[in-house]
A and B are shown apart, each in its own frame.
Chain A
Amino acid sequence: MVDLLLFAFFGGLAVICGIVMITQKHPIASALSLVGAMGSLAVLYLLLGAEFIAAAQLIVYAGAIMVLFLFVIMLLNAGAEPKPMRPSWIAVAVGIPAVLVMFAMLARLIASTVPMDSLVRFGGFTGGSAKDVGNAIFRQYLLPFEVISVLVLIAILGAVVLARKEMD
């Protein structure tokens, strides 16, 4: 019961933060709502029993990456965006029902393809400790993990090269 309440609260918070992130004009407000969404996701991981992933989510995403984002926004002193044109009423009238229909279809699809007894229950997931995550990354999925690392490295190098060009 407490689990369900917490899930509803933090799930709702994540969704609200996501919406606020898109709708906010000011970059810092957007960045902070993203942090809020990541924090709520961390709580959801914790509820599922994946403590290590929850802590990693907080330390890496909310704690390190988003601080860098915020740092850059503050350093460039990016102000609020100018107000965009008001969306036409047709876009609102068609768009919101379309989004709702899409979510309903997704929920239906997931409910029909995933058998009910294979759903993860609160606390029923036991593969969330540091040991299990380590085994999964460095034994089972070693190759994909290394490939992703190289990909990220290439992206970093690319960013450095692009940034240098601009400096000259």
Chain B
Amino acid sequence: MDFIVLSLLKTGLVAFVFLTALAYLQWIERKVIAHVQVRVGPNRVGPHGLLQPLTDTIKLLTKEDLIPSHVNKFFYLLAPIIGVSMALISISVIPFGPEIEIPFTGIKTYLGLTDLNIGVLVPLACSGIGVYAVALAGWSSNNKYALLGGLRASAQMISYELPMALSIAAPLLMYNTLDMRKIVEQQGAIKFGFVYSWGIFSYLGLPFVAFILFLICAFAETNRIPFDLPEAENELVAGFHTEYSSMKFASFFMAEYANMTTICCLATVLFLGGWYPPVEFPGVNYIPGLVFVFSGLMMLYHGTVNLVRARDKYTLPAFGIIFCGIGLAHFVPFLMPILVPLFWFLSKVLFLLFLYIWVRATLPRFRYDQLMHFAWGWMFPVSIGVLFATALLVAVWK
């Protein structure tokens, strides 16, 4: 019974944090792109536009739920359900941290919802089924732009699934298991006395090539720039979700961001050492707290002594105090074993998500034939080469 209650609690917590994070990811994206393009970004609702995700959600929920008369109703309604459920399922197999003890209760549990011995395959299966959402949405809308978007998306996702699977297979050869928790624990070994053996640091750095291939495929799998041809605005209006409005549109939107987050978690687990820090030295566990406290103090300084903009008078000190509080929580002995691994895991995931946004703000879109040629003529041979080279190295070393 304890197991069920604990699992329900963990699921509820992860679902709440994940969904909130998805909403704020969109705020971060708009802000970062705005600053890259020398704009301000959302700044009307709440301080620095921080309540923008909330108002967006309310807007999307309360808009008229329109079902065009010419659609195939059953599949039209089924598509967003498949999309969002498949996108949200795969987070359940990601391990966020090691085994921890919940303070004051003595209950030991793993950070993460479940550990399957086929863990790595679950996100792949989910993204495979998720293709149906896009294809069905495009087809059932009965609209030429939507159909073209759906066809493009399914062709692209099938093409890039192959090099993605191959680039995942290369590190799996080194780890010799499909269990995500065991994969991360193997990366916890320390080499040369101070470096953690992250996936990308082992085997002569060969997995680093696989990591780059995986990232490129991840961009294509989630239909993001520079591979966002399924929703190319200047050719297809909005692509496969042209005919969707209100909550159904929001589901596709949420599915896209959930897929991005999950795939970044997968990259972190497979290549970037999960919840382990990059290097080991005495006191490495104090770094997360120090980072937070330092940034909090910096905000306090700029919000009080060195005030430049009048509107920062309240927000910067407030956030400075919050950051200092989070930082100090990292030093509390019974919170430290929970927060420090989470810090390293989340910072890697957030870095990869930032990379997504950075690329979106920087790169133009591919042409469709370039996209396909890139997948089959370049990615595929290179990933096969990396797989063979890794297999050779593993066979020689083990």
A residues adjacent to B (C-beta < 8 A): 28, 32, 35, 39, 51-52, 54-56, 58-59, 62-64, 67-68, 70-71, 74-75, 129-130
Contact of B158 among A51, A54, A58, A71 (CB under 8 A): A71
Closest 5 CB pairs of A and B: A63-B128, A55-B121, A58-B125, A51-B118, A55-B118
Q: Across the interface, do A71 and B135 meet the contact criterion of CB distance under 8 Å?
A: yes
Known: A58-B128, A58-B129, A70-B132. A51 touches B116 (CB 8 A): yes
Q: Across the interface, do B158 and A67 meet the contact criterion of CB distance under 8 Å?
A: yes
Contact of A74 among B116, B150, B157 (CB under 8 A): B150
Q: Across the interface, do A63 and B131 meet the contact criterion of CB distance under 8 Å?
A: yes
Residue B117 at the chain A interface, CB threshold 8 Å: yes
Contact of B121 among A59, A67, A71, A75 (CB under 8 A): A59
The smallest beta-carbon distance between A150 and chain B, in angstroms, is 20
Contacts of B118 in A (CB 8 A): 51-52, 54-55, 130
Q: Across the interface, do B139 and A74 meet the contact criterion of CB distance under 8 Å?
A: yes
Contacts of B155 in A (CB 8 A): 71
Given contacts A59-B121, A63-B124, A67-B132, 13 further A-B contacts (CB under 8 A): A28-B139, A55-B121, A59-B125, A62-B125, A63-B127, A63-B161, A64-B158, A67-B154, A68-B158, A70-B132, A70-B135, A70-B136, A74-B151
Contacts of A58 in B (CB 8 A): 125, 128-129
Q: How far is the CA of A70 from the CA of B118 in the complex (A)?
A: 27
Residue B75 at the chain A interface, CB threshold 8 Å: yes
When C-beta atoms are compared, the residue in chain A nearest to B135 turns out to be A70
Contacts of B131 in A (CB 8 A): 63, 67
Residue B81 at the chain A interface, CB threshold 8 Å: no
Contacts of A64 in B (CB 8 A): 128, 158, 161
B residues adjacent to A (C-beta < 8 A): 75, 116-118, 121-122, 124-125, 127-129, 131-132, 135-136, 138-139, 147, 150-151, 154-155, 157-158, 161, 178
Q: How far is the CA of A68 from the CA of B128 in the complex (A)?
A: 11
Known: A64-B128, A64-B158. A71 touches B116 (CB 8 A): no
The smallest beta-carbon distance between B153 and chain A, in angstroms, is 10
When C-beta atoms are compared, the residue in chain B nearest to A70 turns out to be B135
Interface centre among A62, A68, A74 (most CB of B within 10 A): A74
Contact of A67 among B116, B117, B128, B138 (CB under 8 A): B128
Q: How far is the CA of A74 from the CA of B121 in the complex (A)?
A: 28
Contacts of B151 in A (CB 8 A): 71, 74-75
Q: How far is the CA of A125 from the CA of B139 in the complex (A)?
A: 41
Contact of A70 among B124, B154, B161 (CB under 8 A): B154
When C-beta atoms are compared, the residue in chain A nearest to B178 turns out to be A130
Q: How far is the CA of A64 from the CA of B164 in the complex (A)?
A: 13
The smallest beta-carbon distance between B158 and chain A, in angstroms, is 6
Known: A74-B151, A130-B118. A67 touches B125 (CB 8 A): no
Interface centre among A58, A63, A70, A75 (most CB of B within 10 A): A63
- Chain A interface mostly helix, strand, loop or mixed? helix
Q: How far is the CA of A54 from the CA of B135 in the complex (A)?
A: 23
Q: Across the interface, do A28 and B158 meet the contact criterion of CB distance under 8 Å?
A: no
Q: Across the interface, do A55 and B122 meet the contact criterion of CB distance under 8 Å?
A: yes
Contacts of B161 in A (CB 8 A): 63-64
Q: How far is the CA of A67 from the CA of B134 in the complex (A)?
A: 11
Contacts of A67 in B (CB 8 A): 128, 131-132, 135, 154, 157-158
Q: Across the interface, do A74 and B158 meet the contact criterion of CB distance under 8 Å?
A: no
Q: How far is the CA of A39 from the CA of B129 in the complex (A)?
A: 10
The smallest beta-carbon distance between B35 and chain A, in angstroms, is 38
Q: How far is the CA of A56 from the CA of B131 in the complex (A)?
A: 16
Q: How far is the CA of A71 from the CA of B152 in the complex (A)?
A: 10
Q: How far is the CA of A51 from the CA of B136 in the complex (A)?
A: 28
Interface centre among B116, B128, B135 (most CB of A within 10 A): B128
When C-beta atoms are compared, the residue in chain A nearest to B177 turns out to be A130
The smallest beta-carbon distance between B136 and chain A, in angstroms, is 8
When C-beta atoms are compared, the residue in chain A nearest to B139 turns out to be A74
Contact of B135 among A52, A62, A74, A130 (CB under 8 A): A74
Contacts of B132 in A (CB 8 A): 32, 35, 67, 70
Q: List 9 A-B contacts (CB under 8 A).
A: A59-B124, A62-B125, A63-B128, A63-B129, A70-B135, A71-B151, A71-B158, A74-B151, A130-B178
When C-beta atoms are compared, the residue in chain A nearest to B131 turns out to be A67
When C-beta atoms are compared, the residue in chain A nearest to B161 turns out to be A64
Q: Across the interface, do A62 and B128 meet the contact criterion of CB distance under 8 Å?
A: yes
When C-beta atoms are compared, the residue in chain B nearest to A57 turns out to be B125
When C-beta atoms are compared, the residue in chain B nearest to A26 turns out to be B72
Q: How far is the CA of A32 from the CA of B139 in the complex (A)?
A: 13
Contact of B117 among A28, A75, A129 (CB under 8 A): A129
When C-beta atoms are compared, the residue in chain B nearest to A71 turns out to be B154
Q: How far is the CA of A63 from the CA of B131 in the complex (A)?
A: 8
The smallest beta-carbon distance between A26 and chain B, in angstroms, is 9
Q: Across the interface, do A63 and B125 meet the contact criterion of CB distance under 8 Å?
A: yes
The smallest beta-carbon distance between B271 and chain A, in angstroms, is 20
Contacts of B178 in A (CB 8 A): 52, 130
Contacts of B116 in A (CB 8 A): 51
The smallest beta-carbon distance between B262 and chain A, in angstroms, is 16
Q: How far is the CA of A68 from the CA of B139 in the complex (A)?
A: 14
